[in-house]
Structure 1
Amino acid sequence: METSAARPHPTLAAASRERRDIVSGEVMEEARLIRFVTGPDGQAVPDLARKLPGRGMWVAADRASVTAAAKKGLFARAAKAKVAAPPDLADQVEALLRVRLLSGLGLARRAGDLTSGFEKVSSAISSGKAAWLIEATDGAADGRRKIMALARKASPAPGVVGVFGAAELGLALGLENVIHTAFLAGRAAERWAEDVRRLAGFSPLLPEDWREEPVEAKREP
């Protein structure tokens, strides 16, 4: 079963930050959108942190919407100016989201919001402290099945992310051979989850062959 990421309940502040998707015309919360600005070279530039200067152009956080915006010239229409968009813009967004997620894991480890290793992660899941289980895509299947079975039985069940290899996780965390990691529940995990949900619009959160090992991957904030 494919992993899905639960949509957070919007606070009053979040609900007030709504933008119109230039593809569908639908008004959405910013957390469900990708902001773009026009770069110095006239190219549409993804602004995942929503901090770059310039007029924002907002697109739903999914591959089809970003591809449509690039292909149909919708950035230029929204900006009322000449704006080019490369055909691989959706791939660029996916790559940037992956970088943000890895960076977020590194920050979480330094802040004490992350734990790694089979025993420590199992304990965090069993105690209900794990908001997210991050599994290396190239880890041993036996260990993965055991820890995901534990996650399936937990209450609340952690979300599950399986998009990074052990080397990527190790580099981000400053550790070696990182296979099992848990992001502990809290504000940092909620912020990290926003990018997880956006990434889910561009790439599956679990490898195809893991989907035969069903696990509840929703985490209500």
Structure 2
Amino acid sequence: MLPDLENATPTETLKWGFEQFGDRIALSTAFGPTGLVLMHLAAQVRPGVKVFFLDTRYHFDETLQMIDRVRARLDVDLEVLTPELTVAEQARQHGDALYVINPDRCCAIRKVEPTRRMLSGLDAWVAGLRRDQGSTRAQVPVVERRKVDGRPLVKLNPLARWTHKDVWRHVFAHDLPYNPLHDDGYASIGCWPCTAATPDQSDERSGRWAGSSKTECGLHTLL
């Protein structure tokens, strides 16, 4: 039976997760502002907290530079995951620009499968989903049970109730490093072929897969 954490603070939610799952819990991050806040809060509760970042090999240079910046600033044990296929191997097997031809398949290869392998060794996953990030995330619970390859997994979204303004207020208040592309009009930053700057900063996901109906990579819908 999962506890009712709907009104818990993010720190209270993180403390519960760490107490329940010990070293079988980890945070995921793509170095967006919500992930930065989560890492900052989690490191205060558990210094050296386990964090994983997925290097799809399609990230902006500014995103990859965040690896060293985060390691220098926050007390986290940051692991960088990579897909089994290199970009060249994927092109040989599936054709060039799979992200255009079949973006769901590209995300499955470069994001979902590496994350699935990581989660196979965990009992709990902490993610940075927020309800105000768009309609697909509007009902995100603070804590939920999921299954990955038939295995039960508890997923925590400690910042589910926070807003865009709450997140950036925390980033600036604590002088956290952030991706400079945000200053260039990128509301949400993923792989460079599928991310665009957008004037609509009210919809954080509007610059992802612009011009298509795709809104999620599959990490939080398939896993």
* TM-score, length basis structure 2: 0.26
Larger Rg: 1
Flag the structure with more relative contact order, 1 or 2, with Cα contacts below 8 A and sequence separation at least 6.
1
After TM superposition, the score normalised by the length of structure 1 is: 0.27
